[in-house]
Structure 1
């Protein structure tokens, strides 16, 4: 019997264009199709028609809707609702965010499932879910088997290539009623935080980061990011100096990124920073110090002043686009 694989859809209701679905959710649906029967779980308000169509295009046979409004913002409430929608699922996939990790924990406690977070993939082996991870600042690759009957796996973005299904799923809308727990807290108000345009740092397929070597001037870093269609990151030194906001900080206590391409500009490569980006697909480093630790993990390194190197790289990339 084919296992049911549920995917918790990450969506942004505030987006004015497109389906509002975060790209990593399509990656999760792509992975779900390789394991079993994919279904999507939409939490919050009713999904728009284009979002339902997009989920179907990536193979979702059902779109189970938990119309619980703002209560979806509380991890314990969200976990209770998710438990009601995924009772038949052998595996629940979600994007590995701070909030979703907490939801996964509550869901596991409620259902007796095993949990793996920050995974790079998952598969079914001998009737059990096995997840792939890179751990200890990406110095080890491990395979974890969940011995429970149910598994919850939180996936890092950019670890599975999102591909539409050869045959679209039915994406049948199914409303789910959930008994939500009484909470000792209530949500008094919600104030959206203004976000920069473009792909969020944690989801970006390309990231260009600047460190102390920028001396506080991020003009070239932002220009290179714009040419590459990349998100802008930073080292802890740069954010501590106030050169760029802390939401851009890549590192063990900042944002962990796993892009296909990571460009480190003027970043020495301290352990803290490496722990947040070492699992990237290809790492390019530009640093004036030939002994900088970042070169130990770089696939391609350039020793030089970023003020000299980046303008040449930007010019070459622009020329290649016009060719």
Structure 2
């Protein structure tokens, strides 16, 4: 592996990409220059009467048939070899499940630990199993040169070896609704010892746990914590706030309390805040203790 590259997949993809780019550039310049030369050299003003009538040239036809064929076969070979390298996961790879939902990623580790960021050890192969709970998403790490769809009802995977510690962006590269642009997170590549410590740590307290759950379940893709506008109402100072909601076809005024928030999380279609679209998915799979942690966090927000 090239030590200047950050993943094994970069080592596989980048040389092939640059080779293809070089071939395409040479062909583009060659064809363009040749066409311009022919236009100038054989313009009608220079040749008012044809001086020759060439109908065929065996050697020229062989060259423009054989050379492109060999070129395409060579490109196919290296493309296929690169594809196989991306699909054949080394033995002993760390298995992590990436669960996509509107509009967040959750990463589940073999010991049951869940995170809204993908923590990986430097120098070890990592296999990321991709699943989707709702619509089509695409798991994309530009720096690692990996991208694959997460399809409801199907399972796919990507793998890589992070060779440098650092944080690298993860995006959803398939439009999945109004919160698509906010469906971002990161890979946190840690030294092996630091990763082992992180993996062994227990869950934080209820307030921090609630904030983590908000991120894990995609809530922060639509609801801001700082008052900024988004597809959904902001969480800033939400407890005790006066709102107008549409309930049973009528607009009514409410004061946001725990009962309303509980209903809004479990049955979001029951009362829609005026000015917002009914796009929030239900969170009926939340455990009671998770819901309590979220409500505790929302209650404590300034």
Q: When you count helix as a share of all residues, which structure comes out higher?
A: 2
| Higher Cα radius of gyration | 2
TM-score by length of 1: 0.26
